[in-house]
């Protein structure tokens, strides 16, 4: 049990996942922002700009990094200040728009319109970059655009990055009954993806995410349905979704995209929800204590939920 105790102590919430360079930048930005000097914005934006210029053309990595930075800076004035001062900097414009779409920003009622304009200007400045369109997809969800409008943005993303994980997750969210679609549209969207997606593509977790969202919706309804929610994972499409990935995702090097650890967290959650503990053990080993906030947060504190699930999986070893 000493090994398991050590593993639990290392468990931590890490939005950067295994991107160590991004983790170091987040710590540096936090340290810099505490100085409160007039030059703080200049120093932070210079750090971010240099960082996001690395690995040009790696859209999967760039999307991950911008998404994490936008969440991190969601309640900060920095993205807006940077975009205002450098209106022809595509990265600044995307980061500002994305931060507005996180739901945390406090820039007032006109901010969403500014975000749309920022996305469109960024798309003109960087025509090959999918991130302005991914940011616009997030803004469109927040503004409840019509389906023809949203699908138009969606097609712009696919033209530039066929398997962009963030785009698929946003479309999945938009098509849920809670937003702009229906359960049938979710099924059609997932079925269309499964028919053609490579087994280790960045967006491969879309199908399992849809099943987790449905499972959590069942739990949220309470009553008898919630009491028997576990049966969701032993029936039909949910069982098939788990079977397809349970023995491959955790293999070293199989998933190589930037948010692979988030997908492994999702898989561990689903396996434990379905009481498939033996299979979950190997996935927890692959995770190595790097915890993603979702889906664990739906049961309470995400670290607590993760560690409790991990202990149940490892029981008897």
Tens-digit pLDDT profile for residues 124-158: 999 999 999 999 999 999 999 999 999 999 999 99
Domain assignment present for 179? no
Has residue 12 got a pLDDT over 60? yes
- Separation CA 74–CA 258 (nearest Å): 21
Model pLDDT, residue 74: 86
Domain assignment present for 144? yes
- Separation CA 229–CA 233 (nearest Å): 8
Q: Do 9 and 117 lie in a common domain?
A: no
Domain assignment present for 171? no
Q: Do 159 and 42 lie in a common domain?
A: yes
Domain assignment present for 177? no
Domain assignment present for 6? yes
Higher pLDDT, 93 or 227: 93
Model pLDDT, residue 136: 97
* Residue 90, both tokens: 């595509």
| Domains in the chain, number | 2
Q: Do 1 and 41 lie in a common domain?
A: no
Q: Do 4 and 63 lie in a common domain?
A: no
**Helix (H) / strand (E) containing 122:** helix 111-125
Domain assignment present for 19? no
Domain assignment present for 20? no
Q: Do 146 and 228 lie in a common domain?
A: no
Q: Do 40 and 4 lie in a common domain?
A: no
- Separation CA 197–CA 163 (nearest Å): 8
Note whether 202 and 259 are within 8 A (CB).
yes
Strands (E), 260-312: 290-291
Give every CB contact of residue 168 below 8 A, 6+ residues apart in sequence: 193, 203, 206
- Low-confidence winner among 209-218, 224-233, 275-284 (lowest mean pLDDT): 224-233
Model pLDDT, residue 213: 95
Domain end marker among 118, 142, 163: 163
Model pLDDT, residue 33: 65
Has residue 292 got a pLDDT over 90? yes
CATH at 50: 1.25.40.10
pLDDT digits (tens, 9 = 90+) for 86-112: 999 999 999 999 999 986 444 555 566
Model pLDDT, residue 224: 86
- Separation CA 232–CA 194 (nearest Å): 20
pLDDT digits (tens, 9 = 90+) for 40-86: 778 889 999 999 988 788 999 999 999 999 999 988 889 999 999 99
Note whether 119 and 136 are within 8 A (CB).
yes
Residue of 88, 199, 87, 206 whose CA lies nearest to 154: 206
Highest-scoring range by mean pLDDT, 13-17, 28-32, 108-112: 13-17
Q: Do 228 and 111 lie in a common domain?
A: no
Highest-scoring range by mean pLDDT, 96-110, 228-242, 253-267: 253-267
Structural domain boundaries enclosing 112:
35-163
pTM: 0.91
Q: Do 155 and 79 lie in a common domain?
A: yes
Model pLDDT, residue 34: 58
CA 212, 215, 220, 223: dihedral to nearest 10 degrees? -160
Q: Do 298 and 257 lie in a common domain?
A: yes
Q: Are β-strands 290-291 and 12-13 bridged in parallel, bridged antiparallel, or unpaired?
A: parallel
Average pLDDT over the chain, rounded to an integer = 90
Q: Do 3 and 47 lie in a common domain?
A: no
Model pLDDT, residue 75: 85
* Residue 177, both tokens: 């009954």
Q: Do 291 and 209 lie in a common domain?
A: yes
- Separation CA 71–CA 102 (nearest Å): 6
Domain end marker among 163, 181, 216: 163
126 by Cβ neighbours in 10 Å (0-12 / 13-18 / 19+) ranks as middle
Higher pLDDT, 120 or 103: 120
Has residue 218 got a pLDDT over 60? yes
User: Each residue of 251-265: b (16+ CB within 10 Å) or e?
Assistant: eeeebebbbbbbbbb
Chain centroid, CA 256 distance in Å: 15
**Helix (H) / strand (E) containing 286:** helix 277-287
Phi, psi of 198 (to 5 degrees): -60, 150
Give every CB contact of residue 276 below 8 A, 6+ residues apart in sequence: 233, 242, 246
Domain end marker among 107, 141, 163: 163
Q: Do 66 and 108 lie in a common domain?
A: yes
Domain assignment present for 189? no
């Amino acid at each position: 049990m000493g090994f398991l105790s050590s593993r639990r102590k290392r468990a931590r919430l890490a939005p950067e996942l295994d991107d160590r360079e991004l983790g170091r930048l987040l710590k540096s930005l936090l340290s810099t922002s505490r100085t409160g000097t007039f030059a703080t914005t200049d120093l932070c934006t210079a750090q971010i700009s240099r960082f996001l210029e690395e690995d040009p053309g790696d859209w999967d990595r760039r999307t991950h990094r911008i998404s994490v930075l936008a969440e991190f800076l969601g309640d900060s004035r920095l993205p807006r200040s940077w975009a205002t001062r450098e209106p022809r900097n595509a990265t600044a414009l995307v980061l500002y728009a994305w931060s507005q779409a996180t739901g945390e920003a406090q820039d007032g009622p006109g901010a969403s319109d500014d975000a749309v304009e920022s996305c469109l200007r960024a798309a003109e400045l960087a025509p090959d970059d999918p991130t302005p369109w991914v940011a616009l997809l997030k803004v469109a969800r927040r503004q409840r655009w019509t389906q023809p409008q949203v699908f138009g943005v969606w097609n712009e993303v696919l033209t530039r990055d066929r398997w962009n994980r963030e785009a698929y997750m946003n479309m999945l969210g938009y098509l849920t009954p809670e937003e702009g679609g229906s359960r049938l549209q979710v099924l059609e969207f997932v079925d269309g993806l499964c028919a053609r997606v490579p087994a280790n593509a960045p967006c491969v977790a879309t199908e399992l995410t849809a099943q987790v969202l449905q499972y959590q919706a069942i739990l949220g309804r309470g009553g008898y349905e919630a009491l028997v929610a576990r049966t969701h994972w032993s029936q039909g499409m949910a069982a098939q979704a788990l079977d397809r990935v349970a023995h491959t995702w955790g293999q070293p090097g199989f998933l190589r995209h930037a948010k692979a650890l988030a997908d492994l967290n999702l898989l561990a959650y689903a396996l434990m929800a379905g009481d498939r503990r033996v299979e979950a053990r190997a996935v927890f080993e692959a995770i190595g204590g790097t915890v993603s906030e979702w889906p664990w947060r739906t049961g309470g504190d995400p670290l607590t939920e993760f560690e409790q699930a991990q202990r149940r999986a490892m029981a008897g070893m």
